[in-house]
Amino acid sequence: MNRFFGFVKKEFQHIFRDMRTLLILFGLPIVMIILFGFVVTTEIRDVEVGIWDRSMDQASIRATQKIFSSGYFVPAGYIDHEEEIGDLFRSGRAKVVVVFEEGFERNLRRENHAAIKLITDASDANTAQLSLTYLQGVLMTYFQSVNQDVEMPWSVNMKSRMFYNEEMKGVYMFVPGLMALILMLISALMTSVTITREKEFGTMELLLASPLKPREIILGKVTPYVLLSFTNAMTIVLLGFLVFDVPVKGSLWLLMLECMLYITLALSLGVLISTSAKTQQMAMFMSMLGLMLPTILLSGFIFPIDNMPKVLQWFSTIMPARWFIVVVKNIMLKGTGFAFIWKETLIMLGMTLFFILASVKRFKIRLN
Amino acid sequence: MSKREHIIEVKDMVKKFGSFTANDRLTFHVERGEIFGFLGANGAGKTTAMRILCGLSYPTSGEIYVAGHNVYRERERIKKKIGYMSQKFSLYEDLTVSENIRLYAGIYGLGRKQIASREEQLLDRLGLTYIRSRLIREVPLGWKQKLAFSVAIFHQPAVVFLDEPTGGVDPITRRQFWEMIHDATEEGITVFVTTHYMDEAEYCDRVSIMVDGRIDALDTPAALKQQFDSKNMNEVFLKLARL
């Protein structure tokens, strides 16, 4: 047992003496979560809106005021020609133009029907789509409040609520996704690199020729990363809570256990990579291209899985992160218990087992 | 000669990689306390054979005993009794001299007190005490090599395997290194060394010369020179290679 601890100690020394490793281990998670939390959001803020008010009556002016007092939009000025819409978009002064038809209030009163045209600069499709949704929301709420007393026989009163994320906060999406990404990065990438480093420097031969058993070598190498990854996972949860108010509604213990499972999964994947990569560069390349990109693109972290082509949807089922994200969202945001995530847990367990068995098999081939 | 004195006993060892035969029915033995040179050109199969003896790779067939243990079934026991030094003088660059010594000593199961006293002795003998807390990456190559060898025999193994231990170091350091090897045999350690420097063969008690996966000659350097009517081992080797 002593020889094992000596070996683990050495692994910690490697980590704490290498500035680059330290930066990736401790700097990266914090920088990523702050960046994602503040910069990459699905909310809109201060979108410039131009107004083409062709009636300039009380109703249209009120509606305009409502738009700018909502907090999402800032005025980009009034225009009075159709050509100016293009000017606004091309010069980038406005992302959206709201057009009130002529005689807006009169039509509203007489025919109970008036038209507003919303024109967006869709060269940035995301902002355009979001702005439209927000604008429609603002205007709907306003006109509904105006018409409250007027009882219309066939009017449908629609109300929507966003369960588990009432304010539609982007960070709610990113905290689980980032956990999946960062843990995959640290566990899989770092272990595959540190193991191939021993191969590259020839120290692996020495270890294999020593009384240390191969499983002791691998365990000794991954143990520090298990501890550090776990610390990282908890840091992310804590940061999410303190800085972005992302709650942990379910059991923290369950969350920790699932994190451990996912870390083990990522580590076994890292070990598997290291059995086929000959150099550190190779290992890094394989982890980056083979793990990072698919994790970002196909796990549902950024792009919804349901909107993907069928082939990619199937492909996404072999991404460990996909299942982990579901689990984390369930525990953190919905507060569900194990009964609702046993399937995902089982899948991750199966993957872990598969990667470990595959690594052992590849390792044996190498010896023969 | 009784079998007990054969620290390594190899009979009909074959190693195949697919259809390629790296070791073709090697048969030889190494006696306790001798320096056994394992010579051959690059790709002759030296390293393959040595890796099998160290338990780093399984043979395809053959009867092989190292330190009295079967290489198929008793690898763990063998590993405790051998030392190994690879071509790259593999120490950890980001650990200090002292940390490297202690790490390997710990892996071989030495106790803390034992490690401390032997470490003093070792550093004292090498004259390296003043750089004990320096990182390996700051230590010159020649010293690294000596240190790697000292670490490989730190646990006093029955036999130490040296895989081309003198690559890339200057002639003077090489000479000093061979003196260290001789000192090790005085302590009862058997040395199994591969090399492709033929002049180094002269320092060995017996040498075997491998060509294309087979052992073509095996005897003392003096006997080989006589047999092939050569002035030095280099000539012996060239004559063998031409056959």
pLDDT in tens, A211-240: 998 889 999 999 999 999 999 999 989 988
Q: Which of A8, A210, A221, A280 to mutate to test the interface with B (most CBs of B within 10 A)?
A: A210
Answer whether residue A149 shows pLDDT above 70.
no
Compute the radius of gyration of chain A from its Cα atoms.
Answer: 28
Do residues A26 and A242 touch, judged by C-beta distance below 8 A? no
CB spacing of B57 vs A207 below 8 angstroms: no
pLDDT at A265: 95
**Count: domains in chain B:** 1
d(CA A181, CA A348): 15
pLDDT category, B83, cuts 50, 70, 90? Answer: very high
Pick B90's closest partner by Cβ from A7, A17, A202: A202
Give me the residue label for tokens 């004559």.
B239
Quick one: angle between helices A170-184 and A252-276, nearest 10?
A: 40
CATH code where residue B38 lies: 3.40.50.300
Whether residue B72 lies within 8 A of chain A, CB to CB, comes out as: no
d(CA B64, CA A226): 40
Answer whether residue B150 shows pLDDT above 50.
yes
Do residues B37 and B44 touch, judged by C-beta distance below 8 A? no
CB spacing of A7 vs B76 below 8 angstroms: no
Q: How many CB atoms lie within 10 A of CB A105?
A: 18
Q: Which CATH class is domain A47-146?
A: alpha beta
Parent domain of B166: 3-242
Count Cβ atoms within 10 A of the Cβ of residue A21 and give its class: 0-12 exposed, 13-18 middle, 19 or more buried. middle
Close Cβ partners of A330 (under 8 Å, ≥ 6 residues apart): A250, A336, A340, A341
What average pLDDT does this structure show over A338-363? 92
Task: Name the DSSP class of A186.
Answer: I
Strand partners, A73: A47
Beta strand A96-100 pairing with A47-53? parallel
d(CA A48, CA A59): 21
Nearest Cα to A68, choosing from A84, A46, A87? A46
pLDDT category, B3, cuts 50, 70, 90? Answer: very low
Residues of B in contact with A206 (CB under 8 A): 84-86, 90, 104
Answer whether residue B2 shows pLDDT above 70.
no
Answer whether residue A364 shows pLDDT above 90.
no
pLDDT category, B40, cuts 50, 70, 90? Answer: confident
* Min Cα separation A210/chain B (Å): 5
* Min Cα separation B165/chain A (Å): 13
What average pLDDT does this structure show over A7-35? 88
- The tokens of A46 are what? 């201060």
Residues of B in contact with A7 (CB under 8 A): 103, 106-107
Give, for B21, the enclosing helix (H) or strand (E). Answer: strand B20-31
**CA B27 to centroid of chain Cα atoms:** 18
> Quick check: helix, strand or coil at residue A7?
helix
CB spacing of A13 vs B161 below 8 angstroms: no
Total-model pTM: 0.80
Of the candidate ranges A118-127, A146-155, A267-276, B106-115, the one whose mean pLDDT is the lowest: A146-155
Whether residue B80 lies within 8 A of chain A, CB to CB, comes out as: yes
Close Cβ partners of B100 (under 8 Å, ≥ 6 residues apart): B91, B92, B136, B147, B151
- The residue ranking higher by pLDDT, A157 or A19, is A19
Q: Which of A4, A7, A9, A10 to mutate to test the interface with B (most CBs of B within 10 A)?
A: A10
Q: Which of B107, B144, B153 to mutate to test the interface with A (most CBs of A within 10 A)?
A: B107
Q: What is the percent of chain A where pLDDT is above 70?
A: 92
CB pairs under 8 A between A and B: 73
pLDDT at B27: 95
Side-chain-side CA neighbours of A308 within 13 Å: the count stands at 17
**Domain map of chain A by residue range?**
2-40+170-367, 47-146
CB spacing of B107 vs A17 below 8 angstroms: no
Give me the residue label for tokens 């390296």.
B128
pLDDT category, A158, cuts 50, 70, 90? Answer: low
Give, for B192, the enclosing helix (H) or strand (E). Answer: strand B190-195
Strand partners, B90: none
- The tokens of A102 are what? 């002529």
Pick B109's closest partner by Cβ from A209, A211, A213: A211
Query: Which chain B residue has the Cα nearest residue A197?
Result: B92
**Average pLDDT of chain A, as a whole number:** 86
